[in-house]
Copies of this chain bind each other. A is one copy, B any other.
């Protein structure tokens, strides 16, 4: 028997309570029963975003949510700044280009975080940019960007700041209102510990002003349509049929998140990240990210080893899904997710299995050393 386990940076594992909610019968979406659930969920999710603003629920993947932000906060031909520091930063650029915005990239070498100097320069050089798009946790490189510092810069400018927190929400520290972020988008298959399929979006007050003023072709993605239904007099609703099962699962997930507490969730992710990083370093491996995200640890593949072989052996022999590198990082790095429904034991088992795999691939490591380093972090905490 080889059990299947996910230690990827999304989709992540889903707690049994949330899985069970997915197997519950369908409620008709216009019934008071369903709308009461949707009301509860729409209220409780604000805490996860650390916002008092309404959080919109779209039936779409995270990329759809990113597209919705571009559609609602910029118009064709307008200038959009993008922090391109990995596959997901670059996705903002491709969306905006696909929708005929004028894209200016702030290009950052993969593995590094953008600096506030680079942001300042870009904002100063492009006063006509209506939107700056960035990534909280760049899953492809394992880097966490200095969102709070960037928001302090955009706050003082006329450029709105949109953050892809798809793999960052409920993992990396994020205080939307306090930090003055203008738009945050997340998906469900990461820190929210659910299957993929919903995009969750919150906007600042000034972003809502922009949405209402913006002349941009839209229908399905219209934030105004979503807001009108969410703030209906009776109970909140959605303009199009919502994903009923996922909303039920979000209800179950938010129960768990509120019980654990967002500060504790951030601390748990920090601890798991530290232990994983320490384990990799104890095995003589090199971390790829200069400013590692607490949701994923990216590691350079040992010399002469294709990281794809490590990933395949982890899955085939140990049942553990970690992931390799994307794009230009293909074969060169592997990434361990410690995100969402993930605990210390998950990290220990993954490091232990990885040691076996590396050993079998002929990498000169001492088995047990990685586990020992992780244990040490846990025992000290």
Contact = CB atoms under 8 A, between A and B. Distances in A.
Interface of A: 4, 6, 8, 10-14, 19-20, 22-31, 33, 59-64, 67, 76, 94-95, 98-100, 187, 189, 195-197, 217-220, 222, 240-246, 315, 321, 323
Contacts of A19: 23-25
Nearest to A100: B217
B98 A241 contact: no
A14 to B, nearest CB: 5
Given A61-B59, A187-B241, A196-B242, A217 B99 contact: yes
Contact of A27 (B4, B26, B76): B4
A241 B91 CA distance: 13
A77 B14 CA distance: 45
Nearest to A21: B23
A252 B244 CA distance: 18
The 8 closest A-B pairs by CB, nearest first: A23-B23, A98-B219, A195-B245, A197-B243, A59-B61, A63-B240, A22-B22, A28-B321
* SS of A interface (majority): loop
Contact of A189 (B12, B67, B217, B241): B241
A246 B197 contact: yes
Contacts of A29: 11, 196
A220 B67 CA distance: 7
Contact of A95 (B23, B28, B60, B220): B220
A59 B98 contact: no
A331 to B, nearest CB: 15
15 contacts: A4-B33, A11-B26, A12-B26, A13-B26, A14-B25, A22-B245, A26-B195, A28-B323, A31-B321, A59-B60, A60-B64, A94-B219, A100-B217, A195-B243, A195-B246
